[in-house]
Amino acid sequence: MEKRLNLPRDVGVAWVAGLTAGALGAATFLVAHAIIIVPIWQPAGGGPIVAALLGGSSLAWAFEELRHAGRLSLTLRSGLLFGAILWLALVPMTVVGSLLRVWGLRSLLGFWEVVIEVSVAAGTGLFAGWALARRARAAAALAMTVLVLSLIMGGPIPVVNSPRAAWLFAAFVLIYAAAGLGFVMMRRTLARFATAHGTPSAGESVSHTTA
């Protein structure tokens, strides 16, 4: 029998799981940056908090849209796959940004460099979302997520500047994998808690195996 959808609670559960994923991703980034570049344990302002809020919220939206389209499930494997999708979606922007640096076009383009790079990021997310799910909502969600992540990163990592920069970009595979795993684990935990205290949520209709 089909589970009854409790939309407000389902959205709340996904959002809290997304914030957890955002916080975990931010923490993993700080560790990676400290190991590869320099420690920034006390960054100025509320940057990490804003990154966790924006990145986690958009991540939750994209994961849920792909899940409802049947492309992901609440499994650890899907969490890792989602992290890989996010990283791969940022590769075209990174390539374009690197080419603009190598060709010496950044100073000529000025503000348009940013426009080009974020457009490539959003366009890649849009294409990936549509290719994966064939649904406009999933495409829009993944486009927004990749766009938000690119802005949080401050644009493409300048991988052509130094080996350390290239290693930092490579480390984002682990960062997004940690975020994806964190989302799945918290989403499953909250779904079980909600089940124990009331009406089953839509997340329960998905297998909770670790495969």
Contact 210, 75 (CB under 8 A): yes
pLDDT in the model for residue 52: 81
pLDDT in the model for residue 47: 67
pLDDT in the model for residue 12: 84
pLDDT in the model for residue 99: 95
pLDDT in the model for residue 4: 44
Model confidence pLDDT, tens digit, residues 50-69? 778 899 999 999 999 999 99
Residue spans of the chain under pLDDT 70? 1-9, 41-48, 194-195, 197-211
pTM of the model: 0.86
Q: How far apart are CA 23 and CA 19, in angstroms?
A: 6
